[in-house]
């Protein structure tokens, strides 16, 4: 597969994985990009369309990084909140009935 096509496909995979919050797909695509970069570099001069495709891939990668950072920050807030209210959660779990959980 030529570099331009490969970069475009990887960009699309990153975008799709972010939209779906598909962490496994994000990780797999990131690994694929890391593996492809040295191969692309070794192949020599890049055409103008390849440079544009690479810039778009970099932009999508940056957006994916920012998405992951925001998601991690949100999860940290949620986990901190759960930890701060741990006693309440434990009391609820100990005293609640299945009807309470369904309500």
In tens, the pLDDT along 74-85 reads: 999 988 888 888
Per-residue pLDDT for 100 more than 90?
no
Q: Give mean pLDDT, residues 59-88.
A: 91
Instruction: Give me the residue label for tokens 């475009």.
Output: 8
When divided into structural domains, the chain yields a total of: 1
DSSP H helices, the chain, are 3-20, 23-42, 48-84, 86-95, 98-102
Dist. CA 17–CA 10, nearest whole Å: 10
Of 65, 54, 45, the closest CA to residue 8 belongs to: 54
Residue 103 belongs to some domain of the structure: no
pLDDT for 10-46, tens place per residue? Answer: 999 999 999 999 999 999 999 999 999 999 999 999 9
Tell me which residue range forms the domain holding 32: 3-97
pLDDT of residue 81: 85
């Amino acid at each position: 597969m030529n570099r331009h096509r490969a970069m475009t496909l990887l960009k699309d995979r990153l975008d799709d994985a972010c939209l779906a919050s598909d962490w496994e797909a994000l990780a797999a695509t990131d690994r694929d990009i890391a593996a492809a970069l040295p191969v692309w570099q070794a192949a020599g001069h890049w055409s103008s369309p390849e440079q544009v495709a690479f810039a778009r891939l970099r932009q999508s990668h940056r957006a994916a990084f920012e998405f992951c950072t925001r998601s991690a920050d949100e999860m940290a807030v949620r986990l901190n909140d759960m930890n701060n209210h741990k006693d309440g959660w434990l009391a609820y779990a100990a005293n609640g009935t299945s009807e309470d959980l369904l309500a």
